[in-house]
Amino acid sequence: MLFQNEEVSLKLEVLRYEFPADGGQFDTDDRNWLVMRGTFCEDGLIIKDTNSCLLTYELREMAASLKVVRAGIKDAYQSEFAEPYFMLSAKPAGEGTYSVWVSFALPNTMEDVDVAEVDCVMSDAEMAALIAELDALCEKFPDRN
């Protein structure tokens, strides 16, 4: 997932489950935490960090909610994830474009930047590509019981 404007960019990748298939406590969210890596670029500075900050069902809900916004059924999407280390909002901005805001915490770096934030405008094609990427991640990382 790439979010960018003229000044900054944030690439987010879902790397893996936090725990191995037999790890974490059964019948809890432990087994469904996903590890995300953020790569934030600003003024030639590149900062990378990882967080276990997204649950498999939150990934699925985000993909579905963005589809609903893109279809014009809802006016906006605002994430309500269990951990606020990753946040995303999107709303139509007119004529096939979307205003998107994304935030990703960078607590494990030695840099002065502890949160990467990007406000950007995405075209309809970019939003469709984002949704397709999220759908592929949902298939790759299903809920585990």
- Convert the pLDDT of each residue in 17-75 to its tens digit: 998 888 767 777 889 999 999 999 999 999 999 999 999 999 999 999 999 999 999 99
User: Which whole number is the average pLDDT over 84-103?
Assistant: 96
| Residue 1 per-residue DSSP state | -
Average pLDDT score over the chain: 93
- CA torsion sign for 80, 36, 34, 114 is negative
Split at pLDDT 50, 70, 90, the class of 92 is very high
Give the domain ranges of the chain. 2-140
User: Tokens 């969210």 sit at which residue?
Assistant: 29
pTM beyond 0.85: yes
- Tell me which residue of 77, 102, 76 sits closest to 87, measured CA to CA: 102
Domain 2-140 sits in CATH at 2.30.31
